[in-house]
DNA sequence: ATTTAATTGCAAATGGATTGCAAATGGTGT
DNA sequence: ACACCATTTGCAATCCATTTGCAATTAAAT
């Protein structure tokens, strides 16, 4: 029927294209459960890192909060999700495309908590200097910026 | 007596020179209490950031753990102490010289947790670029490095 | 010494995150 | 469709870092 078709088409456009993640999930023997699907879908809609509780609220308590924690930890382990720390003691998470280089940073408004993604990064040349200087190898870094956004200043 | 004088002399060299901090503390109307003195002294002996619990153990339970937390929070508020976050959910603290620019970073061994101080910093020129790019002002950053130290690699 | 507000110790509370366990479930083969 | 079974969930309890309420203590000024 027409309405059915239209609704279906609308759904198609609204629905996140999660095939990439779902395929990998199932190919590793893990189950595509309702909570995991809903959480993946919700993560895919976000434009900045969110907390476990925000996910829980965002999916209108579709599953237990503990299952959000467990799903997120799983997603981190299999490389679906990246964790960020904005210094307030609450972990934040972002869905990443499997295989792609997802390394980036954020700037957080100290007043209204607005978050913008930052593509600038700590220079490789300096990392090499630190490598030589300290004797450390396989160096990574965590870097987040803080400041007043244009509206709060 | 000679032994007395020697011990005294030894004590003098061992004892931390906390006058700078103590003066400021008292000039602001705050009390120099036994816990605060002991904690200051212990912090002064450290060469990298330590947790509240490490302070508590390090001063052999000379005061309550809650008082360590309260003293550290006070020290942060009056600029005696700087907080660092190594990503394990436990806050770490370092005594800083009042008034001096104490901005620096660390590299942490992901294997043995060894910590080395890093003086290299995120370039100012890039920070200015981010300022223009995002419209944010008064930008600061948190930056920590992780890797394998020479002994663990 | 006396006074007084700041500070402490203690125990309880808070809050993010983890976990044990019985019940539910999804993927596989029949 | 059905049955199997390891995985996963919901629920409640627990953990652990940190904070807090309050009565007792204490530093420092009078």
The answer to whether A89 CB is within 7 Å of strand C is yes
Q: Percentage of chain A surpassing pLDDT 70?
A: 90
Task: Read off the pLDDT band of A12 (50, 70, 90).
Answer: very low
Convert the pLDDT of each residue in A85-120 to its tens digit: 999 999 999 999 988 999 999 999 999 999 999 999
Q: Which residues contact B50 (CB under 8 A, 6 or more apart)?
A: B43, B58, B92, B93, B94
**Given this model, what pLDDT does residue B142 score?**
97
- Neighbouring-strand partners of residue A108: A115, A146
Residues of A whose CB is below 8 A from B142: 87, 142-144, 146
The H-or-E segment that residue B109 falls in is strand B105-109
Nearest to B137 among A85, A141, A153 (CB): A153
Please say if the pLDDT value at position A15 is more than 50: yes
The Cα of B79 is separated from the nearest Cα of chain A by a number of Å equal to 18
CA nearest neighbour of B70 among B60, B84, B81, B86 = B81
Please say if the pLDDT value at position B96 is more than 90: yes
**Given this model, what pLDDT does residue B15 score?**
54
Task: Read off the pLDDT band of A7 (50, 70, 90).
Answer: very low
Task: Read off the pLDDT band of B99 (50, 70, 90).
Answer: confident
Report phi then psi at B54, rounded to 5: -65, -35
Please say if the pLDDT value at position B10 is more than 80: no
Nearest to A138 among B131, B138, B148 (CB): B148
The Cα of B47 is separated from the nearest Cα of chain A by a number of Å equal to 16
Distances from the Cα of B14 to the Cα of A126, B7, B10, angstroms: 37, 10, 6
Which among A117, A122, A144 is the top mutation candidate for probing chain B, defined by the most B β-carbons within 10 Å of its own β-carbon?
A: A122
Considering only residues 132 to 151 of chain B, which have any Cβ-Cβ distance to chain A shorter than 8 Å?
133-150
* Contact (CB<8Å) A136/B107: yes
The answer to whether A74 CB is within 7 Å of strand C is no
Which nucleotide has its C1' atom closest to residue A33's CA? C26
Mean pLDDT of A56-78: 97
Please say if the pLDDT value at position A130 is more than 80: yes
């Amino acid at each position: 029927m027409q309405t059915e078709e239209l609704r279906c088409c609308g759904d198609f456009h609204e629905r996140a294209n999660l095939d990439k993640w779902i395929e990998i999930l199932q190919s590793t023997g893990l189950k595509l459960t309702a909570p995991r699907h809903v959480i993946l879908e919700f993560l895919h809609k976000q434009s900045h890192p969110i907390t476990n509780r925000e996910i829980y609220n965002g999916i209108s308590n579709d599953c237990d909060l503990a299952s959000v924690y467990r799903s997120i930890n799983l997603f981190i382990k299999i490389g679906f999700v990246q964790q960020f720390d904005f210094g307030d003691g609450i972990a934040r998470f972002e869905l990443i495309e499997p295989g792609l280089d997802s390394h980036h940073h954020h700037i957080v408004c100290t007043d209204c908590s607005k978050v913008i993604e930052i593509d600038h990064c700590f220079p490789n040349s300096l990392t090499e200097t630190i490598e030589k200087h300290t004797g450390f190898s396989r160096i990574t870094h965590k870097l987040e910026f803080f400041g007043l956004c244009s509206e709060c200043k």
